[in-house]
Structure 1
């Protein structure tokens, strides 16, 4: 979208303000609001931020301003306040692309893939809880939503029709093509699905979707959380990535081969091989918090399954494996969770898959059984690896992975490891209520 087209759209829609937004390492959105009359200046120079104050962006308090220059193709009018338009941005310092910008990192990986004739398409499926705060903690907001197996519960969905239909209507107003929304496998948990598109657009949509969902929840006095594991006994929040690789022009799905097993091409199987090879290092990006690894466990929840595979496997339409093949021409990466930075996760996944293609990595035979029916020891005995059991273990794997180091950039990887190891150390040094109850009278 050109500057003149954006100006015309602003006049047509009556937009008075622009929300210039970007995400930092942890996927947290930062923004400034500027009058629409400043459009030309914003397009030319961007909007300035004190980078040190805006999260983990590789800056100190002495550094020059970070300038957020919006991508006009990402423009979304706020459905609940139509005089405001939101725009995703890339970060610059002193006129140069800032290498600590997650969106810029993804674009760099996409450029390398494009030079090889590839374009990644994606569809993302965020899960979230609606909760209320009570007694310093949280609880599912609807006391009637208490079934042990609540997935697809019609009555629970009906009680939330006002919220759900407002969400669907808002996204469809933006042209996203929502095709389903459901009550998920935990109490007061929901998922929404929209049409797939270019992966950069999908990351922008997911970033905006989190903003939209939280805003609609707050209007009802609720909190929407994408936290991977907010409740010990309930299924956690995933964000499955459906992926297909196309030619650079976006005309031919290079993953599709209806004459081959599961309707996937050899290129797709090599891509899967790359994801399997780098799975343990990828976890540090796609499951990026201490809390993420409380979702990635082998024991079931009260519903009977975690729906978060921890075994490094792939298979057909099998939700117990890490990479599912839901239909011809696409795969589903099931271990991305609600805390993942969309841009970093997509960049790391694409880099791993491209390594698989370039080195023709054989993924081996698919696993078509129920992984939950086996013990860890039984699967390890069959040569199946398991994902890291905690964030610290995942960070060690990431540090040793040269492919992901190159994709993210050495300096960014160093910062990422520093930030996340500090997070692990803070968690590890915290004394929990569980420890008090367990060890207070020991010895």
Structure 2
């Protein structure tokens, strides 16, 4: 019996042939072959749909030296290998009743010098983390909650920070003027295969959240990259600019990407559930949690990777900065959400933000958690009080530390953490630290409008 993913005599797999049949059936004109750079920016190479078979059998070549963090000019030839399971028609590129359209395929990057997967491909980094989990007997599921802002554009089509609404948490129209935009985004996501669970206006004006169902960690990372693309594209159709910048407006809540994680065993049981435990969490779940808490400072460089990320991670705006876990409140770094059924037992890492590269962020979180399991780390008791109300002495009494206060401190912690560095791999960790250090250095020598307003005429 031939497996659906086995190439017969170098030809197409059954899944690849299904994709080509769907391309013909739907009259697709162009294929966007998508991948991400190390920073997490979605890149794509557009090819005529007639090249689909060649893309599957031979791959599509591109210049890797032009991609942030990939290779040097003398090592530039790279190859894209489309994953047929990720085929999806782009709804904003296809009009009802008209011929033609565009579709997307997410690709793995191949190093042409070796014919092997490129170690600098963020998708490969996550696959390596999932391979490690599989060796330990686990499959990883994840469900993120990416938040975003919708801003009006000026007469030149450039983004402003005017929101056009005054909605708050769970508000409805007329305060939430973007409800129609969210509706169209949801329709677009559903057309691309997403199962949407809920959507709502968030706490800050102009801020929104759309939640989609959990999946295996690789599919979920693919979905995050797709989600950001869909949100931006459909917002633009409404003459709005969508941004996943963590803190675009000062002194109000920023955007997070709370990430729910669980491990399942090979026989389909939730390894995080224990009905005899006070919190319904197994020892495995607590060790995994302890691993993330143990590596939290280094993880922040990957899960909160911009200078702006640390404008969100300050006390007072509902963002977690304290390295602790809780089964009740949201002031801790990790929360144990209520679960209706055993299969839903999970932990929620509340510190990642939507500017992160989802492949690298998930890989780092998984490695840190698995390190906790391998080392048998003890998990401290949950903190059930509101940590935001603790003074420094009480935090010290509880042994609660804080996340780095800026990107520079986070990068310093990353460079000292072998587990998180290993999660990224030698190539990605070097290029990531190099790029982010340059970003932080550029920020440090800049002079902001705040400084000019504060000091120029005072001193």
| Length-normalised TM-score, structure 1 | 0.93
Cα distance, 1:241 vs. partner?
0.7
Structure 2: tracts of 5 or more residues without a match: 6-14, 95-100, 340-344
- 2-side partners of 1:320 and 1:342: how far apart? 23
Structure-2 residue corresponding to 1:275: 292
Residue 142 of structure 2, aligned match among 112, 122, 125: 122
Q: 1:123 to 1:157 in 2, by over 3 A?
A: farther
Structure-1 residue corresponding to 2:310: 293
Residue 252 of structure 1, aligned match among 248, 269, 287: 269
What pairs with 1:86-235 in structure 2 (closer than 5 Å)?
86-94=104-112, 95-133=115-153, 138-142=160-164, 145-146=165-166, 150-156=168-174, 159-235=177-253
Contact 1:262 1:327 in 2 (8 A): no
Consecutive aligned runs of 4 or more in structure 1 exceeding 6 Å deviation: none
Structure-2 residue corresponding to 1:322: 333
SS of equivalent to 1:418: helix
1:348-381 CA-to-partner distances (Å, cap 9, x unmatched) read: 0000000011111112100111112223453134
1:263 and 2:263 aligned: no
- 2-side partners of 1:415 and 1:197: how far apart? 29
- 1-side partners of 2:66 and 2:151: how far apart? 29
1:153-176 CA-to-partner distances (Å, cap 9, x unmatched) read: 122565323211111122223332
Residue 74 of structure 1, aligned match among 82, 86, 109: 86
- 2-side partners of 1:105 and 1:179: how far apart? 28
RMSD: 1.7
1:24-69 CA-to-partner distances (Å, cap 9, x unmatched) read: 1111011011112111211123222222222222x22332322121
Structure-2 residue corresponding to 1:26: 39
Aligned length: 431
Contact 1:318 1:325 in 2 (8 A): no
Structure 1: tracts of 5 or more residues without a match: 301-305
Cα distance, 1:390 vs. partner?
0.4
Q: 1:287 to 1:5 in 2, by over 3 A?
A: same
1:331-358 CA-to-partner distances (Å, cap 9, x unmatched) read: 1111010111000000000000000111
Structure-1 residue corresponding to 2:8: none
- 2-side partners of 1:338 and 1:377: how far apart? 33
Q: 1:15 to 1:133 in 2, by over 3 A?
A: closer
1:368 and 2:379 aligned: no
1:420 and 2:432 aligned: no
